[in-house]
Amino acid sequence: MARPDGSTGGRTADRGERMIEVKVRFWTNGIVSGEGKIRPKHAWSGGVVRMEKNVSHDIKPKNPKPFHSLLDVGAVIEKVLIQHGIRLHPGRRMRKYFSA
């Protein structure tokens, strides 16, 4: 079956290496006073987005990108994907937004 990019082949990947993973991490420092102390289940609304290493996809993580609001997370994820050369293909539900 042809793919959206016109190719029919690919490369074999081990289980756990077939997906591309983006990690969102929230800062927790300074919520409680004291060195190394945290308040369980509490975090700031900012943090960093980073790519996880994936040998099958030739992904080598670069520096994480910060965000300062939950409203920024989508834009920062997009920047991280572009920085790593990741191309997204629209799924069935997204195709209705594109013209032929």
pTM of the full structure: 0.81
**Which letter does DSSP use for residue 78 in this model?**
H
Confidence (pLDDT) at 4: 57
Query: Which mean pLDDT values do the consecutive 10-residue runs of the chain (100 residues) have?
Result: 60 80 96 93 97 93 97 98 95 86
How do the domains of the chain map onto residue ranges?
22-97
The answer to whether 46 and 69 have CB atoms below 8 angstroms apart is yes
Task: Answer whether 76's CB lies under 8 Å from 49's CB.
Answer: yes
